[in-house]
Chains A and B, each alone.
Chain A
Amino acid sequence: MNKLTLSKETKITLKLIKRDKLAMLSLLIITFFIIVSIFAPFIVPYPSQGEGLPVPEKRFLPPSFENPFGTDYLGRDVLSRVIFGARISLFVGIFVVCVAIIIGVPLGLIAGYFGGKVDDVLMRITDVFLSFPSLLFAIALVATLGPGLFNAMISLSITWWPWYARLARAQAVTIKEQPYILASQVIGVKGLTIVFRHLLPNALTPIIVQGTMDMSSAILAEAGLSFIGLGAQAPSPEWGLMVSTGRIYLLNYWWFPVFPGLAIFLVALAFNLFGDSLRDVLDPKSRKAGGQM
């Protein structure tokens, strides 16, 4: 019975996603960037330049057949560097979101399920965290830990987990009243087992939606940190750093700062559009609006 309704749900979800052309397009872009970043060393025209090898005699060449995105101030192929940069940005996105989820979700589920003092303390902590402007806090944190890609990622994760804790808690509070959870309690399943075996799988949907959208926020935030010098350091082909180095050449050699930024925009847009569609499709409320009054 449960299995049957679930597969029907999944079917409708898939059907709706397929119908949404924008969602399919964004999924295509995401997949493209993932494949490209996995095989970067094999597909870029100039792998060594992608990693940072200067070619002094080829500085500031405009886009051409040989260098589709032109070359930068050290003569490196911008396309190769942008493709190598995809590896960094996607990794940062996945890392930050995963760490935030790994910290936030269990805490939220436990707080929501057990309630009481655990819940009170945890929710006050998240309240405080959520009242900060998180990027500002991340800046202070990186400044303390010292600039660098890894410290930037850690700082973003630390400022983001409370969002997931709150989301997971709200889920746990609703789900724990469900009959199948009550049934497990009655037959004596231990609390933590219930949390991870029963609550977790059923609370995942909104977390996945949030995670998809946060991929984009994480990539943007990290690019921003790199842009002001707190994230990746030269000669890393990190996109935000490339825009930062290239910006003084904007009016003469526009391709140098423009293409890396375009890549950030495309990836962030794709994740946001996909997350947006996912939410529309998975949200029973917006789904109902089509079927009833």
Chain B
Amino acid sequence: MASFKTYLIKRIILALVVIYFVITITFILSHVVPSDPAELYVGPKATAEQREKAIKELGLNQPIYIQYLRYFQNLVNGDLGKSLRAHTPVLHDILTYLPATLEIVVLANIVALIVGVAFGSYSALKKDMLADHLIRIVSVGGVSIPSFWFALITQLVFFGILGIFPLDSRLSSDIQLFNPIHTITGFYTIDALITGNIVALVDSVRHIILPAFVLATYPIGLVTRMVRSMMVEVLNENYIRFAKANGFKDNLIYYKYALKNALTPALMALGLSFAYSITGAFLVEVIFSWPGLGTYTVNAILENDYPAILGVTIFGTIFYVFINLFLDILQAYLDPRVRLQ
């Protein structure tokens, strides 16, 4: 077990180093690169008085290393600065908008993992046959389609033409009025379910389907392609031939023996797709008026709310680094060759 521990420690150190670098880079971006950092923080329309205040508050008149240390200290204390528009702490804003984003991101990635593993392994089993070619076109299509455009197309088709799904937002307004969801987790679907609010549950599910589906297209393509190529490799392995030659049931060979070996790349792909989802959600949320971090950030961009943009960057990166840390450790844990060495 000693080596798994070493691996764990090494991996955690790398994660911390990455976070340290992110903070440093954002510091450079916010304090060193701009000719007038204060303006970034108060916006171009600010009065001279407001600027003075910002310079003092941010310590911009102090030597650069003091600024750096203060910046660091603030972050460690969870202070990401104040939003220009609402003058609320950015961290507080982020935590308010986060659950809505997480809800579609998590759902999209679960869908992507299931569909991607199914498509990828089926494609590998039918290598070079018609099904393989079709799945290839679908998966390459999935990583090539601009999500914001695809979101519009699904609105056009499922709302505009077929009328089976709502256009946007998280919940219909009448439901919000008459059957409001009592917030526990912040995930509307789960909250509605555990509070037994069936009307709201149905409504929130109807609202989440399109955005989650659109957000899942890219990860589906990614997971499919990685699982397929790994499965093809695994199916050529000696242990698969050995199992076949010795009468193992096909179901065991394909869905137990080969699949477990192909799960490693699926987890890797999931790490990449989470990275995509964070920014992918930005574009998708805007189209579906989904009140999550994406909508928050895009509004921040439109209004030059620099502290908010930077706060989201830092938060998103840290979130992503931890997701990857978790997936890497899980991957190592699932492989007895790593775990037991």
Contacts and interface: CB of A to CB of B under 8 A. Distances in A.
A77 to B, nearest CB: 20
A153 to B, nearest CB: 17
A30 B249 CA distance: 46
A40 interface: no
A230 B286 CA distance: 14
Contacts, number: 148
Given A144-B33, A144-B34, A258-B153, A133 B146 contact: no
Interface stretch (B83-91, B107-115, B314-322, B329-337): B314-322
Given A133-B279, A227-B283, A228-B283, A265 B140 contact: no
A229 interface: yes
Given A133-B279, A272-B143, A128 B17 contact: yes
A228 B285 CA distance: 11
B29 interface: yes
A220 B280 CA distance: 11
A247 B144 contact: no
Interface string B301-341: 11000100110110011001100100000000000000000
Nearest to A274: B140
Contacts of A132: 18, 22, 317, 320
B64 interface: no
A27 to B, nearest CB: 14
A127 B14 contact: yes
A130 B156 CA distance: 37
A229 B22 contact: no
Interface string A96-138: 0000000000000000000000000000100110011111110
Contact of A251 (B15, B156, B310): B156
Nearest to B316: A136
Nearest to B317: A132
B22 to A, nearest CB: 7
A143 B306 contact: yes
Contacts of A262: 149
B102 interface: no
B141 interface: yes
Contact of B149 (A265, A276, A286): A265
A273 B298 contact: no
A133 B156 contact: no
Given A133-B279, A276-B136, A276-B140, A128 B21 contact: yes
Interface in B22-50: 22, 25-26, 29-30, 33-34, 40
B252 interface: no
Contacts of A137: 25, 313, 317
Contacts of A227: 146, 148, 283, 286
27 contacts: A127-B18, A131-B14, A132-B18, A134-B275, A135-B279, A136-B312, A136-B317, A140-B309, A220-B146, A224-B147, A227-B148, A228-B282, A240-B148, A243-B152, A247-B148, A247-B287, A250-B155, A250-B156, A251-B159, A257-B149, A261-B146, A265-B145, A265-B146, A268-B144, A268-B145, A272-B140, A276-B136
> Which 7 A-B pairs have CB atoms at the shortest separation, nearest pair first?
A261-B149, A268-B144, A140-B313, A133-B275, A135-B279, A269-B144, A131-B18
Interface of B: 14-15, 17-18, 21-22, 25-26, 29-30, 33-34, 40, 133, 136-137, 140-141, 143-150, 152-153, 155-156, 159-160, 232-233, 236, 275-276, 278-279, 282-283, 286-287, 297-298, 301-302, 306, 309-310, 312-313, 316-317, 320-321, 324
